[in-house]
Amino acid sequence: MSQALQQNGHLKMVRHPQIQAKAQALIPEIYHHDIFPQAIVRAEQDGQQIHGWRAEVVNTSEKFFQQDFFQGEHVIIDFGQHCVGFLEFACEAVGSPPDAPAHLQFIFGETLAEVVEPFSEYSGWLSSSWLQQQDCYLDELPQRTRLPRRYCCRYLRINIVALSRKFQLRFTALKLDTVTSASLADLPPCTTSDPQLKRIDDVAVHTLKNCMHDVFEDGPKRDRRLWLGDLRLQALVNDVTVKNYDLVKRCLYLFAAMTREDGMVSANIFVKPQVIADDTFLFDYALFFVDVLQEYVAVTDDSETLAELWPVAWRQIELALERVAENGIVRDSNDWWSFIDWHQDLNKQAASQGVLIYCLNKALLIARQYDPTKSDFLEHQISRLKAAALRKLWDPQSGFFTSGDSRQISCASQVWLVLADVGTLESQQQLLARIKSHPPEIQMNTPYMMHHYVAALLHVNEIEQATREIKRYWGAMVEYGADTFWELFDPQQPDFSPYGSKLINSYCHAWSCTPSWFIRKYLL
Q: What is the tens place of the pLDDT at every residue in 53-102? A: 999 999 999 999 999 999 999 999 999 999 999 999 999 999 999 999 99
Q: Which has the minimum average pLDDT: 47-51, 320-324, 476-480?
A: 47-51
The mean pLDDT value for 322-328 works out to 97
Q: How high does pLDDT run on average in the chain?
A: 96
**Would the CA dihedral through 117, 119, 125, 126 be positive or negative?**
positive
The H or E element that residue 136 is part of is strand 133-138
Task: Identify the weakest region by mean pLDDT among 145-159, 315-329, 333-347.
Answer: 333-347
Dihedral sign (CA 114, 119, 124, 125): positive
pLDDT at 4: 53
d(CA 364, CA 377): 9
Longest dimension (CA), the chain: 84
Q: Domains of the chain by range and CATH?
A: 31-180 (2.60.120.260), 195-522 (1.50.10.10)
pLDDT value of position 5: 53
Average pLDDT over residues 252-274: 97
Decide if pLDDT at 201 tops 60: yes
- Percent of all residues in the chain with a pLDDT value above 70, rounded to a whole number: 98
Phi-psi map region of 243: left, alpha, beta (phi>0 left; psi -120 to 50 alpha): left
Q: Quote the CA–CA distance of 46 and 356 in Å, as a whole number.
A: 45
The size of the chain, in residues, is 524
Contact 265, 255 (CB under 8 A): yes
CA atoms of 203 and 508, how far apart (whole Å): 10
3 pLDDT band, cuts 50/70/90, is low
Q: 205 near 241, Cβ under 8 Å? A: yes
What is the per-residue pLDDT for 173? 98
Taking CA atoms, 66 is separated from 35, 39, 76, 209, 310, in Å, by: 19, 13, 15, 34, 61
Please, which pLDDT band fits residue 334 given cuts at 50, 70 and 90?
A: confident
3-state secondary structure of 458: helix
pLDDT at 396 over 80: yes
DSSP output for 159-206: EEEE--TTEEEEEEEEEEEEEES---TTPPP---S-HHHHHHHHHHHH
| pLDDT higher than 80, residue 198 | yes
Q: Kindly give, in sequence order, each residue whose CB lies less than 8 Å from that of residue 332, ignoring residues fewer than 6 positions away.
A: 347, 348, 349, 403, 404, 405
DSSP designation for 486: -
Instruction: Determine the average pLDDT of the residues in 153-165.
Output: 97
Of the pLDDT bands very low, low, confident and very high (cuts 50, 70, 90), residue 335 is confident
CA–CA dist 35, 53 (Å, integer): 24
Q: Is the pLDDT of residue 397 over 80?
A: yes
Residue 8 has pLDDT above 70, yes or no: no
Burial per residue of 431-460, b for 16 or more beta-carbon CB atoms within 10 angstroms, e otherwise: bbeebeeeebebbbbbbbbbbbbbbbbbbb
| pLDDT tens string 470-489 | 999 999 999 999 999 999 99
d(C-alpha 510, C-alpha 180), whole Å: 14
CA distance 403 to 394: 9
pTM exceeding 0.85: yes
Give yes or no for residue 442 having a pLDDT over 60: yes
Cα–Cα nearest to 92, from 173, 169, 174, 166: 169
> Nearest 5 degrees, angle CA 382-CA 514-CA 386?
15
Name the more confident of 425 and 495. Answer: 425
> CA-to-CA distance for 281 and 338, rounded, in angstroms?
8
pLDDT of residue 46: 94
Residue 229 · residue 255 · CB < 8 Å: no
Region 201-225: mean pLDDT is 97
Whether the predicted pLDDT of 1 surpasses 90: no
* Chain CA centroid to CA 22, Å: 25
Amino acid 11: pLDDT: 73
Per-residue pLDDT, averaged over 289-305, amounts to: 98
Mean pLDDT of 486-501: 90
Closest CA to 151 of 198, 110, 193: 110
**Category of 80 on φ-ψ map: left (φ > 0), alpha (ψ -120 to 50) or beta:** left
Q: Is the pLDDT of residue 468 over 60?
A: yes
